[in-house]
Amino acid sequence: MKTRDVVLLTTSFAVVLFMFVYTFWHWHAMGDLVPGHISHVGEVTRWAAKPFIFFLPGMALFLLAIVIPFYYFPQGIAIPLNMTFEEKKQHQDLMGTYLFTGLLGIQVMILLFHLEAVRLAAGEIDQGAATLPAILTFLAVMIGSTIVTVIKVKKRLCGIRTVAKDN
């Protein structure tokens, strides 16, 4: 595993751990009901039982568990199915970083939603004081960077295929 991938994976673990620690830290300040859904204007449209607050950290942990196997078996997402050993190694090198970068981006977005839900449940912010513009900006950056990365991945995979055919 490359150093960059280790850093991305470690950071993803840290984000998930932070969500759980932050939730436990604020547990005593929360009421019996927590936000189950927050509208686009920051108002709670549905309330849920207190343990529901662990849904987003649980989802982030689940995504982490799902992505790790694809690092070692990138052909599960693969574009070319019949690859030589060298192509598989290069594909792993390329897709692994892409997977972990995407995972971290999604987890940071989940973290932003989760922090808002915990702060609402603990009474630290009022409804309507949502961080929606920040979340939408982050989402736009994530979508843009994903599009750029997908283009790079396709170009590099075409280059891998061309070199393999020339040999």
Of 16, 26, 15, 14, the C-alpha closest to 50 is: 26
Instruction: With beta carbons less than 8 A apart as the criterion, state whether 50 and 32 touch.
Output: yes
What local confidence, expressed as pLDDT, does residue 63 receive?
93
Q: pLDDT tens digits for 80-106?
A: 556 666 766 776 677 777 788 888 888
The pTM for the full model equals: 0.75
Q: Name the stretches of the chain with pLDDT < 70.
A: 74-85, 87-88, 91-92, 128-134, 160-167
Report the alpha-carbon distance of residue 67 to residue 100 in Å, rounded: 8
